[in-house]
């Protein structure tokens, strides 16, 4: 199987607009990808987005939450745009993750069990193929490099 690197750190672009009757709206874009449909910025709400990157065929899954700022900033809305899925490996074994019916696999490294200060390893997950079912597959990597 093909193994992909876990480097999926791309900046997002956001576009804000205000319509008199509709209130504040936002649209989000990943670099080189399409813009999401615009949606309302409703206080204390969470919205899930799926944005297609047409050149790469990747589906970026994002969550957008809107919160009211505390104290003297209470008229300010805090908008968080986060990955919808973050996979965390708390095991002592390397894991490979992939999408159903795709040959690509992404390494999710094990934590260092010998270092008490080591942190669990995590991976921002986006679906590698838009034209495949969005179901996650998991493999365990042995110490000798074999997968099962």
Phi, psi values for residue 55, rounded to 5°: -70, -40
Cα diameter, the chain: 63
Determine the Cα–Cα distance for residues 11 and 90; give it in Å rounded to an integer: 27
If DSSP codes are grouped into helix, strand and coil, which group holds residue 31? coil
Assigned token pair, 129: 């193929």
Beta bridge partners of 139: 96
**Per-residue confidence band for 22, with pLDDT thresholds at 50, 70 and 90:** very low
Question: What pTM was computed for the model?
Answer: 0.67
Determine the Cα–Cα distance for residues 90 and 141; give it in Å rounded to an integer: 14
Phi, psi values for residue 72, rounded to 5°: -70, -5
Residues 78-102: pLDDT tens digits?
Answer: 888 888 888 888 888 888 999 999 8
């Amino acid at each position: 199987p093909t193994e992909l690197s876990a480097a999926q750190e791309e900046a997002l672009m956001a576009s804000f607009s205000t319509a008199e009757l509709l209130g504040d709206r936002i649209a989000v874009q990943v670099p080189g990808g399409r813009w999401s449909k615009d949606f309302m910025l409703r206080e204390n709400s969470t919205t899930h987005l799926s944005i297609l990157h047409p050149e790469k065929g990747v589906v970026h899954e994002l969550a957008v939450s809107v919160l009211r700022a505390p104290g003297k900033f209470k008229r300010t809305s805090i908008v968080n745009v986060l990955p919808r899925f973050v996979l965390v490996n708390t095991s002592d074994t390397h894991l490979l993750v992939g999408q159903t019916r795709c040959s690509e696999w992404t390494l999710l490294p094990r934590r260092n069990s010998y270092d008490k200060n080591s942190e669990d390893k995590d991976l921002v997950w986006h679906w590698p193929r838009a034209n495949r079912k969005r179901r996650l597959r998991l493999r365990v990597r042995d110490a000798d490099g074999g997968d099962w």
